[in-house]
């Protein structure tokens, strides 16, 4: 993989990395926990994109890393949702009415001020 | 042109990795530090791919960004339920100098060692010469399962010892209880659906990594870590119930890998080849058998490490009301 195509793929990968920098800024700033966690998920998704762009130059085994990132980054989201329930083993959807549609009452993970970090200036 | 683009990419990656690492250590707020640690693991995996170390990238992606992230997030939740999650005030004055100087001394010693120690001889020519006789084409697997299989055997046993250490943290009365917390989810909800979609995909990827490990990056540890994630998701989504420490299938799965490894070594020794010295003709078969058993054991052991010690159904007794938080 040489010449213009290789350079173009690397440039695209660098562009995706710039967006990951923005995601890291969101992890830093928050303010709610869901903001930080979703930004980390974006880093995972962007990482998959970078690996796929690198694969032609770097060897196709990079796609295996992309697969593992895709599956394991989702695991962190499960861990986050679990840890934010009262006993650490529940599911926010079963909070009040177990048989109601999932968004009634609305799930307010993102703006629940009690759950957001207090360290933001 | 390609060189310039590659340099730009690498510089960007270095900046992001350095920032994520610094933010995980220097920022305040435990939760934010944990999220930065997860992002750091993801970015470091990209760095390993850029360096051509795909085996390491796979392990970093699976352990650093995946399992460790879940473990740390659960820890933050547990600390908060126990009313113990608070920021420690920054140290000032003389008390701050002791750890700062200690850290500086360790860094200085490492820098000194870097310059003082001779560079290790590159394994290139010898490895290339010995690789065709190892039974596999992936040099990393050849080193781990053939040339230096002693190290790998001991590492498998160390993992088991770590799990026993975690189990010892459980209370005596809880010994026969299932592992970890009692997971519950809303039936038909997102979490339950996730628990049915992700495990089959993860199973496929884990088995693929194990199989690919003979000739390409992958292997028992990488495949086992993905399978551990499958087990953790299935248990968290309530698809399966965690076993107790006295469940026979669990114990068999835990010792199968080290057992087959050790057994293969003893059989080879009895046949006159020497302990864990793989004869060229049987090398591939022995490596595949050992790796398959190891993958299963690593998966179950790592999942057990994430789940934690056996806990009685109302083991969340350490919970305190939110008001108790200082």
Cross-chain CB nearest to A75 (options B19, B233, B322): B233
B274 and B147 housed in the same domain? yes
3-state secondary structure of A29: helix
Please list every residue in chain B whose beta carbon sits closer than 8 Å to the beta carbon of residue A89. Answer: 181-184, 316
Classify residue B122: in a domain, yes or no: no
> B175 with B273, same domain?
yes
Any idea what DSSP says for residue A24? H
pLDDT of residue B111: 94
Do the Cβ atoms of A78 and B194 come within 8 Å? yes
Domain boundary among B82, B117, B146: B82
**Is the domain of B192 the same as that of B52?**
no
Give chain A positions within 8 Å (CB) of B12: 14, 17-18, 21
Whether residue B248 is contained in a domain is answered as: yes
Of B282, B2, B272, nearest to A54 by C-alpha is: B2
Nearest by CB: B1 against A7, A43, A79 = A7
Residues B62 and B175 in one domain: no
d(CA B76, CA B30): 7
Which burial class, exposed, middle or buried, applies to B229 when counting CB atoms under 10 A from its CB (0-12, 13-18, 19+)?
buried
Q: B141 and B255: one domain?
A: yes
Length of chain B: 326
Tell which of B18, B48, B82 closes a domain: B82
Q: For the complex shown, is ipTM > 0.85?
A: no
Per-residue model confidence (pLDDT) at position B11: 92
Same domain, B77 and B139: no
Q: By the 8 A CB rule, do B65 and B300 touch?
A: no
Residues B224, B311, single domain; the answer is yes
Question: Six-digit token pair at A19?
Answer: 């967006």
Could you tell me which chain B residue has the CA closest to the CA of A41?
A: B39
Same domain for B70 and B138, yes or no, is no
In a domain, B290, yes or no: yes
Q: How confident is the model at residue A2 (pLDDT cuts 50, 70, 90)?
A: low
Q: At what angle do helices B2-26 and B30-50 cross, to 10 degrees?
A: 160
Low-confidence ranges of chain B (pLDDT < 50): 315-326
B130 CB-side CA count, 13 A: 17
Q: What total number of domains does chain B contain?
A: 2
How far apart are the C-alpha atoms of B217 and B20, rounded to whole Å?
Answer: 27
Specify the pLDDT at position A98. 47
Q: Is the peptide bond before A31 cis (omega within 30 degrees of 0)?
A: yes
Q: Which residues 44-103 of B have a C-beta within 8 angstroms of A?
A: 45-46, 49-50, 52, 54, 57-58, 61-62, 65-67, 69-71, 73-74, 76-78, 81, 87
Contact A68 B209 (CB under 8 A): yes
For A13, the closest chain B residue by CA position comes to B9
Q: Do B183 and B266 sit in the same domain of this protein?
A: yes
B207: number of CA atoms within 13 Å, CB side? 5
Is B326 among the domain residues? no
pLDDT tens sequence across A11-24: 888 999 999 999 99
Q: Are B2 and A3 in contact (CB under 8 A)?
A: yes
Residue B101 counted as domain residue:
no
Residue B112 placed within a domain: no
Confirm whether B108 is domain-assigned.
no
Residues B179 and B305 in one domain: yes
A84-110 residue pLDDT tens: 777 777 777 776 544 444 443 444 454
Residue B302 confidence (pLDDT)? 92
Chain B residues in contact with A90 by the CB 8 A cut-off are 183-185
Exposed e or buried b per residue across B245-257, where buried means at least 16 C-beta atoms within 10 angstroms of its C-beta: beeeeeeebbbbb
Residue with tokens 């010995």: B130
Q: What are phi and psi of A88, to 5 degrees?
A: 75, 5
Domain-terminating residue out of B42, B62, B82: B82
How much is the pLDDT for B323? Answer: 36
The whole domain housing B137 covers 133-315
Q: Give the pLDDT confidence score for residue B101 in this predicted structure.
A: 92
B139 domain-assigned = yes
CB within 8 Å of A101: residues ≥ 6 apart: none
Partner residue opposite B31 with nearest CB, options A6, A20, A33: A33
> Are residue B231 and residue B291 in the same domain, yes or no?
yes
B139 with B77, same domain: the answer is no
Mean pLDDT of chain A: 76
Q: Do B2 and A11 touch (CB under 8 A)?
A: no
Q: Which two tokens stand for residue B251?
A: 């114990």
Taking only the tens place, the pLDDT of each residue in B161-217 is 999 999 988 888 888 888 888 787 777 778 888 888 889 999 999 898 888 877 777
pLDDT confidence of residue A112 = 42
CB atoms < 10 A from the CB of A106, how many?
8
């Amino acid at each position: 993989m040489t010449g213009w195509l290789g350079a173009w793929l690397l440039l695209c990968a660098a562009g995706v990395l710039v967006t990951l920098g923005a995601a890291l800024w969101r992890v830093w700033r928050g303010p709610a926990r869901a903001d930080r966690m979703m930004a980390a998920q974006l880093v995972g998704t962007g990482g998959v994109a970078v690996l796929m762009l690198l694969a032609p130059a770097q060897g196709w085994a990079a796609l295996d890393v992309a697969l593992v990132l895709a599956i394991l980054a989702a695991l962190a989201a499960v861990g986050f949702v679990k840890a934010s329930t009262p006993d650490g083993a529940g599911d926010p959807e079963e909070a009040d009415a177990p048989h109601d549609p999932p968004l009634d009452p609305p799930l307010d993970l993102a703006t629940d001020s009690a759950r957001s970090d207090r360290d933001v200036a | 042109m390609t060189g310039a683009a590659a340099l730009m990419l690498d510089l960007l990656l270095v900046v992001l990795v350095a920032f994520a690492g610094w933010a995980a250590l220097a920022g305040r707020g435990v939760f934010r530090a944990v999220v930065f640690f997860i992002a750091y693991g993801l970015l470091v995996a990209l760095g390993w791919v850029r360096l051509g170390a795909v085996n390491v990238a796979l392990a970093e992606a699976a352990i650093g960004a995946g399992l460790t992230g879940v473990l740390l997030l659960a820890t933050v939740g547990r600390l908060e339920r126990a009313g113990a999650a608070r920021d420690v005030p920054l140290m000032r004055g003389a008390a701050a100098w002791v750890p700062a100087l200690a850290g500086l001394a360790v860094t200085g010693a490492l820098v000194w060692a870097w310059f003082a120690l001779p560079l290790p001889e590159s394994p290139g020519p010898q490895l290339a010469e010995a690789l065709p006789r190892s039974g596999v084409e992936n040099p990393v697997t050849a080193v781990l399962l053939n040339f230096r299989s002693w190290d790998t055997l001991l590492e498998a046993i160390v993992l088991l010892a770590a799990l026993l250490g975690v189990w010892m943290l459980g209370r005596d009365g809880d010994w026969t209880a299932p592992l970890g917390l009692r997971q519950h989810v809303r039936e038909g909800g997102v979490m339950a659906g996730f628990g049915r979609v992700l495990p089959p995909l993860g199973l496929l990827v884990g088995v693929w990594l194990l199989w690919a490990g003979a000739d390409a990056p992958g292997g028992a540890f990488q495949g086992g870590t993905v399978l551990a994630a499958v087990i953790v998701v299935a248990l968290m989504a309530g698809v399966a119930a965690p076993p107790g420490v006295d469940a026979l299938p669990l114990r068999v799965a835990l010792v199968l890998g080290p057992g087959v490894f050790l057994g293969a070594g003893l059989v080879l020794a009895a046949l006159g080849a020497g302990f864990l010295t793989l004869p060229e003709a049987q090398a591939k078969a022995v490596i595949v058998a050992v790796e398959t058993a190891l993958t299963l054991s690593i998966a179950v052991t790592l999942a057990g490490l994430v789940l934690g010690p056996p806990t009685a159904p109302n083991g969340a007794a350490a919970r305190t009301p939110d008001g108790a938080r200082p």
